């Protein structure tokens, strides 16, 4: 039996966009996650209920592929499906479609359940995943990981202090805020002249309130004979890797 | 003739809230501004049209009063009215209501038109303000300014680098992002134990991409025989004041 697909409508608000009038990558992930939050609420598996059991859903990886970033005021449809799970990992797909049904973005995400007290991964109880129609599989997925960050190739790094509003109900920085750190490490000139096409982000360690985060990026590597470039990213706290990411970019048409 | 009131519905999304499950002050202002943006679009006075004339609407002051911050998933109604204008200043009121019509928040804001080339205030052409039904008044309003920040009373300061996504179509930091800098200057313990009741924020100078911003705050001053405290804030770039604010807070019931 295939897992239930949950879908809902959304219209892009001005504060979900940047000066290019397109949704920011971080906001795109927020918008996609609306569907999983609302699916959970509809099934009575609210985050409050999960937290009352001293548990919390935590993202360990997103693979986001973007056909086109939706624009200010555009009406979109968000869809999600909790496809499969094993003892420790739950896999979920997301889609964003425009009014004509064309797919604007897709995301494949891995979630774990965290014991809020021990700050450790815990087995997924069937009653927290079965209602989604998710299929049990003993297989652990091997989603390609972002390449290791090569410090010798670092081209820029920026520091950010974790703010009060970056922290979510799991008492750590919400996975979405890393997208702003990743994107902002690149230069203004690069960001204005390129469209983001893919982000593979792998979360390694939690980041907490008040910590100083360093966002590192290498020189964009142009893919031979194409308009595409690749960037590698690393988020570091106290010299320890918190997150690693790899992005694919397309140069704008008029360049 | 009274100015037209524009209203629209909104439902609070999870990424508009923080771990207290209430809307953040910055997001509250974003939500209020939805109504003015949509009113402008409905009147054909889109920001694109304004920018095509090398102009941009810029906020110089917000006086935000909060009865209760709306919660996750709450359905609200946003209302706005461009009440009055003179040669250089436009005054606008905002309201946020819950489903029963109870007012959750009010905001009184002052806007100017900026010449994008000269980065200077410019006279408001009648054709850009008349469609709102706004009344001309030769009188310049005297909204109480936040008190001057006393550097000797500074209790904390935090630095923030302006990010790519902080910049709006006016090529400077959007007025809403200052709210995060203002709030985050306070301690986690204070923010968890207090509700924000009022913000008076006065914008003095533009802040640009890449600049290093310092957010200063003094020790919260408890109002005698009450649960209220006052904080004073200053946003500084290169030792120059960019913004000044004063906030009123209420201690939570269970404290």
Residue A57 is predicted with a pLDDT of: 97
User: Over the stretch B55-103, which tens digit does the pLDDT of each residue have?
Assistant: 999 999 999 999 999 999 999 999 999 999 999 999 999 999 999 999 9
Pairing of strands B103-115, B90-97: antiparallel
User: Over the stretch A186-203, which tens digit does the pLDDT of each residue have?
Assistant: 999 999 999 999 999 999
User: Over the stretch A57-113, which tens digit does the pLDDT of each residue have?
Assistant: 999 999 999 999 999 999 999 999 999 999 999 999 999 999 999 999 999 999 999
Interface contact B37, partner A, CB < 8 A:
yes
pLDDT value at B38 more than 90: yes
Measured between beta carbons, the chain A residues lying within 8 angstroms of B165 are 18, 24, 26, 180, 183-184
CA-based diameter of chain B, in Å? 54
User: Over the stretch A226-243, which tens digit does the pLDDT of each residue have?
Assistant: 999 999 999 999 999 999
Question: What is the average pLDDT score of chain B?
Answer: 95
Using the structure block, give the residue that is written with the tokens 């200063």: B216
Measured between beta carbons, the chain A residues lying within 8 angstroms of B163 are 180, 184
Interface contact B163, partner A, CB < 8 A:
yes
Q: Is the Cβ–Cβ distance between B108 and B72 less than 8 Å? A: no
CB contact under 8 A, B180 and A163: yes
pLDDT value at B1 more than 60: no
How large is the average pLDDT for residues A35-44? 96
pLDDT band, very low/low/confident/very high, at A170 (cuts 50, 70, 90): very high
pLDDT band, very low/low/confident/very high, at A14 (cuts 50, 70, 90): very high
pLDDT band, very low/low/confident/very high, at B143 (cuts 50, 70, 90): confident
Chain B residue with Cα closest to A177: B15
Residue A255 is predicted with a pLDDT of: 53
How large is the average pLDDT for residues A128-134? 95
Interface contact B30, partner A, CB < 8 A:
yes
Residue A1 is predicted with a pLDDT of: 57
Burial of residue A172 (CB within 10 Å: 0-12, 13-18, 19+) is buried
Selection from B149, B175, B171 nearest residue B230 by Cα: B149
pLDDT band, very low/low/confident/very high, at B255 (cuts 50, 70, 90): low
Domain annotation for chain B: domains and CATH numbers:
1-143 (3.10.129.10), 145-255 (3.10.129.10)
| DSSP string across chain A | -PPPEEEEEEE--GGGB-TTSBB-HHHHHHHHHHHHHHHHHHTT--HHHHHHTTEEEEEEEEEEEES-PPBTT-EEEEEEEEEEE-SS-EEEEEEEE-TTS-EEEEEEEEEEEEETTTTEEE---HHHHGGGTPEE-SPPP-PPPPPPP-GGGEEEEEEEEPPGGGB-TTSSB-TTHHHHHHHHTS-HHHHHHEEEEEEEEEE-S---TT-EEEEEEE--EEPTTSSEEEEEEEEEETTEEEEEEEEEEEE-TT-
Chain B residue with Cα closest to A17: B165
pLDDT band, very low/low/confident/very high, at B2 (cuts 50, 70, 90): confident
Distance between A112 CA and the closest CA of chain B, angstroms: 20
How large is the average pLDDT for residues B144-167? 96
């Amino acid at each position: 039996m295939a897992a239930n697909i949950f879908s809902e409508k959304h219209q892009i608000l001005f504060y979900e966009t940047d000066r290019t009038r397109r949704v920011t990558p971080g906001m795109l992930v927020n918008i996609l996650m609306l569907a999983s939050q609302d699916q959970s609420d509809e099934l009575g598996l609210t985050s409050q209920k999960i937290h009352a059991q001293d548990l919390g859903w935590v993202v360990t990886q997103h693979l986001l592929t973007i056909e086109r970033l939706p624009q200010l005021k555009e009406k979109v449809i968000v869809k999600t499906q909790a496809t499969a799970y094993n003892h420790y990992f739950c896999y979920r797909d997301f889609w964003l479609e425009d009014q004509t049904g064309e797919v604007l973005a897709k995301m494949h995400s891995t979630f774990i359940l965290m014991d809020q007290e021990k700050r450790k991964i815990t087995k997924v109880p069937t009653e927290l995943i079965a209602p989604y129609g998710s299929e049990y599989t003993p297989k652990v997925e091997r989603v390609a990981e972002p390449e290791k960050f090569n410090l010798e190739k670092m081209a820029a790094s920026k520091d950010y202090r974790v703010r009060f509003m970056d922290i979510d109900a799991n008492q750590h920085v919400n996975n979405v805020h890393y997208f702003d750190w990743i994107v902002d490490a690149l230069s203004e000139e690069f960001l204005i002249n390129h469209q983001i096409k893919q982000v593979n982000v792998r979360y390694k360690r939690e980041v907490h309130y008040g910590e100083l985060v360093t966002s590192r990026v290498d020189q964009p590597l142009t893919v031979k004979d194409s308009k595409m470039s690749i960037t590698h990213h690393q988020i570091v706290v106290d010299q320890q890797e918190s997150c690693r990411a790899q992005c694919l970019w397309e140069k704008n048409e008029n360049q």
